[in-house]
Structure 1
């Protein structure tokens, strides 16, 4: 059943902008992205919006809908009150390029800072063996589509621009946790201490586990419970382990 929806869409660029009101037809079964496309076709041909798959798998159409970070292609109009205007704005944590498109290059810069998986020296490709439990743990984190909604909603990034230099954000701390949990990752043998770098270089201590990242994840990854909290626990264990402390003192004296 069709109806006329009121949309308030943010229009502007890096220099500024404002919400613009539109009235757009909505058909049964449609998602917000369908309506945005209709708006482009009928009233706002120059509206900038980023999208690709329209199936909730590419992470491109991230925005804020009625103040909540969401994927436009996964937000059904039937979930929203037809009596109220639908307010669509760009992700607030990242600089606006134009209209609903933001500059998310911050995230790719953070991704490059994390050392990749280190293959075990004594195993060749095809010889890797893992338990199903380890596979299942890593598979949850691999579901991430890099929509960056978790990065956008994290108040450490969202409300404090000055933190961006020191804080990787939940998506990339989850990546560190995934690698640190990997039973075949030989980072330690290569001189990489993932727990220490998570704390010292990627800002793990900034996270205060409010679970806002988990709440907006479209893949329902338990980012806080299954990645960030366990990583914090292991980082603290390492930092305050008396054997680690004693070993560092011995090495210091030997130097």
Structure 2
């Protein structure tokens, strides 16, 4: 069953822009990205939008639909009110390049700042062994498709541009948490304390665990509950628990 829907799509670039009205045909079973493609084909051939797989796995088509960060390819038209205009805008946290396309290079900068997994020096590839429970803990975080919707909705950077240099955002704090809980990560042997790094270099203390990042994750990763809160707990134990503090001093002295 088809119907005509009213859309308001943000058009512009870094110098400014506005919401432009369109009326577009909607068919049963379609998603917002289908409508954007029809809009390009029939009325706005110069409309810029980033997309790739249209299967919710590449994370390319991130935008905001009626003010909520979403993947355009995973937002079904049937979930939106048919009698109200549908507003599509670019992600607000990142600079606009053109129309619905934003400059997400901030995220790649932050990704490079997270030291990678450090394998144990005495183990060779093929010799790694992990308990299934340890695999289960970190496997959830590996589902991330880097759509950066969590980064976009996090108000620490969304509402405070000045925080960006000091705050890596939920996606990369989750990466630090994943590596910190990895039983085979030998970063500490090389002098890298991932908990200290999370606090001092990635801004863990700026996260106030409102769970807005979890709410918009298309992969339903429990970013706050399973990554950020446990990482905060481990960082606090390391810094303020007197027994942990004393143990670290003794071990440091022994080495």
Cα displacement string for residues 22-43 of structure 1 (whole angstroms, at most 9, x for unaligned residues): 0000110000000000000000
Counterparts of 1:25 and 1:250, CA distance in 2: 70
**Distance verdict in 2 for CA 1:30–1:125, change over 3 Å:** same
Instruction: Determine the C-alpha separation between the residues in 1 that align with 2:252 and 2:109.
Output: 34
Aligned to 2:92: 92
Distance 2:140 2:92 in 1: 27
Is residue 193 of structure 2 the alignment partner of residue 193 of structure 1?
A: yes
Query: Alpha carbons of 1:166 and 1:120: their partners in 2 closer, same or farther (altered >3 Å)?
Result: same
Q: Which residue of 1 aligns with 2:106?
A: 106
1:60 partnered with 2:85: no
**Runs (4+) of structure 1 moved beyond 6 Å?**
247-253
Change (3 A) 1:138 1:30: same
Number of the residue aligned with 2:240:
240
Q: Aligned partners of 1:35, 1:28: CA distance in 2, in Å?
A: 11
The alignment partner of 2:214 has SS state of: helix
Aligned equivalents of 2:237, 2:251: Cα separation in 1? 20
Partner of 2:159: 159
Q: Quote how far apart the aligned CAs of 1:245 are.
A: 4.0
User: Unmatched 5+ residue regions in structure 1?
Assistant: none
| Partner residue in 1 for 2:30 | 30
What is the correspondence of 1:103-182 to structure 2 with a 5 Å cutoff? Answer: 103-182=103-182
For residue 50 of structure 2, give the secondary structure of its aligned residue in structure 1.
coil
Counterpart contact for 2:6–2:23, Cα < 8 Å: yes
TM-score after normalising by structure 2: 0.96
Separation in structure 2 between the aligned mates of residue 248 and residue 62 of structure 1, nearest angstrom: 44
Q: Aligned partners of 1:149 and 1:139: how far apart in 2?
A: 20
SS of 2:136's equivalent in the other structure is helix
8 A contact 2:51–2:60 mirrored in 1: yes
Alignment of 1:70 with 2:76, yes or no, is no
- Measured against aligned partners, the alpha-carbon deviations of 1:21-74 in whole angstroms (never above 9, x if no partner) come to 000001100000000000000000000000000000000000000000000000
Task: Calculate the aligned-residue CA RMSD, in Å.
Answer: 1.6
Structure 1 pair 118–249 and aligned structure 2 pair: CA distance change class (3 A): closer
Alpha-carbon distance in 2 for matches of 1:120, 1:107: 28
Deviation at 1:238, TM superposition (A): 0.3
SS where residue 33 of structure 1 aligns? helix
How many residues were matched structurally? 253
